A = this chain, B = another copy of it.
Amino acid sequence: MSTRNYNFSAGPATLPLSVLEKIQSEMLSLPGVGASVIEISHRSGPFLEIAGAAEANLRKLMQIPDDYAVLFLQGGSRLQFSMVPMNLLTDEKKSADYIITGSWGKNASQEAVKEGGVRKAWDGSDTSYTRLPAASELDLDSNAAFVHITSNETIQGVQFAAEPEVGDVPLVCDASSDVMHKPVDIKKYGLIYACAQKNAGPAGLTVVIMRKDLLERSKDSLPGYLNYKTHADADSMWNTPATFGIYVLKLVTDWLIDEIGGLEKMHEQNKLKAAMLYEVLDAYPEFYQGHAAVDCRSLMNVTFRLPSDELSAEFISAAKAQQLTDLKGHRSVGGIRASIYNAMPVAGVETLRDFMKDFASKKA
């Protein structure tokens, strides 16, 4: 038995082993510093170097233009559900358009309603969030303050393959569960936010990437912590940031650059991994019933049901016996969910694929 499982948790989620080994080796003292990374001031030279490297890595990997700010915040993506409209929905004559493709988009819109006018530009709830809207189905307001999407719905496993066309209205994207899984054209976005604990690091850090001109919308009357401009002006050091999270983000982005070779390569690997599992679903369509419509399938969260809850439970416990863990679907949806983020090794997905084939051939 290995001491480490293949852990398909939806988040907090598996991290590259080499990252964990680096954290371990430096835990008592950062080389040359004489203290652990979790013991040093966020304003100290060694920490500013780490935070600077984390931001530089992100800018390089994601090709973030200079007219975008990168913020390191706390509070998770759910605090962004409120901060986005508190900062961007400040013109009382405008409302915000929400394209709701799953549970997280729905939660985001419910917080936005508390802050200002909200329109549902599309809502997939009547088909249980199994699919994405066609362009012709979107009811967009060309005068909206912003359009909000969830690039990957972690619970349902539906993912946009390309950004919807929203004209000149700033596109705001919750990329919590697929940030950095492939190259994207940042210029198409007004603001991208992502909690780190799925594809970027540990829980407790949230990255916000936003066009600097949008900072002008933030009013001085906002609570200090909730004002994007406060954080942008202070380079995310208005107060003590989540220093450990920023350090791990630096290591994860080092890994993406040095070991994976960038986001094109990461994308190839992610497509390969997802295809291995979807092929099994397609080979046993009555036994493994995929949740997402085929053309909306997520590369990150593979969601399906077995013919009965008993078989789902049996699947989960047989998988666990082979050190394939955390495969239970979200409590609101049930069934099975295999989260295969960037850091899930190809070997882990191969092992799961073989297990799934074997289980189906015995039980189907």
Contacts and interface: CB of A to CB of B under 8 A. Distances in A.
Contacts of A77: 239
Contact of A204 (B9, B11, B224, B244): B244
Nearest to A79: B225
Contacts of A20: 27-28, 36, 38
Contact of A11 (B7, B12, B35, B41): B41
A186 interface: no
Contact of A240 (B4, B76, B225, B238): B76
Interface stretch (A59-67, A195-203, A288-296): A195-203
A316 B65 CA distance: 40
B9 A41 contact: yes
Contacts of A240: 11-12, 76, 195, 197, 203
Per DSSP, chain A at the interface is: loop
Interface string A4-44: 11010111111101001101100111000011101111101
Nearest to A36: B20
B203 A244 contact: yes
A27 B23 contact: yes
Give the interface residue-count category, chain A: 35 or more
Given A12-B42, A24-B24, A238 B78 contact: yes
B14 A39 contact: yes
A86 B226 CA distance: 12
A81 interface: yes
Contacts of A204: 74, 204-205, 241-245
Contacts of A325: 34-35
Contacts of A195: 240
Interface in A74-120: 74-79, 81-82, 86, 111, 114-115
A223 interface: yes
Most buried by B among A39, A42, A82, A115: A39
Given A11-B41, A24-B27, A42-B203, A79 B74 contact: yes
A326 interface: yes
B203 A39 contact: no
A242 B52 CA distance: 22
Contacts of A14: 35, 39
A232 to B, nearest CB: 16
Interface in A205-219: 205
A221 interface: yes
29 contacts: A3-B29, A7-B39, A9-B35, A9-B41, A9-B44, A10-B41, A11-B41, A12-B40, A15-B39, A21-B28, A23-B27, A42-B203, A75-B75, A75-B225, A76-B240, A77-B239, A78-B224, A78-B238, A78-B239, A79-B225, A82-B226, A111-B223, A111-B224, A115-B223, A195-B240, A204-B204, A204-B244, A226-B226, A242-B242
Q: Which 4 A-B pairs have the closest CB atoms?
A: A204-B242, A82-B223, A5-B34, A74-B74
Given A7-B35, A9-B41, A14-B39, 7 more contacts: A4-B29, A7-B40, A9-B40, A11-B240, A74-B242, A195-B240, A203-B240
